[in-house]
Amino acid sequence: MHFISCDSDNFFSIFIFKNNIKKLKKQVKPIRILINEKQITDNLTALLFQIDSRKGGRPSKHSGAATGFCD
């Protein structure tokens, strides 16, 4: 049986490393949410543009409510 000697310096550095990882994970989560929201809104805009272009190229009056512009 082998024992790994872990002095106090190594233990402390591992503890700090684990804490840093936890902090980074907390910071990354909101960034991922923002990225996903941006992708969703970009995809939604592209989808609405495709739907409007199929109708004859003019934006519908309903899309004006979302964009702030009216026909």
Question: For residue 50, is it within any domain?
Answer: yes
In a domain, 43, yes or no: yes
- Does residue 9 sit within a domain? no
Kindly report the pTM of this predicted structure. Answer: 0.37
* Predicted pLDDT of residue 39: 80
Is it the case that residue 16 has pLDDT exceeding 70?
A: yes
Q: Is the pLDDT score of 13 beyond 70?
A: yes
DSSP class of residue 37 equals H
- State residue 1's pLDDT score: 45
The number of folded domains in the chain is 1
More confident position, 7 or 39: 39
Q: Give domain status of residue 6, yes or no.
A: no
Range of the domain at 37: 30-54
Q: Is residue 65 part of a domain?
A: no
Q: Rounded to the nearest 5 degrees, what angle is found at the Cα of 48, between the Cα atoms of 47 and 50? A: 65
| Cα(9)–Cα(21) distance, integer angstroms | 18
Helix (H, G, I), strand (E, B) or coil at 68: coil
- The per-residue pLDDT for range 41-70, each reduced to its tens digit, is 777 777 777 777 766 655 555 555 555 554
Residue 17 has pLDDT above 80, yes or no: yes
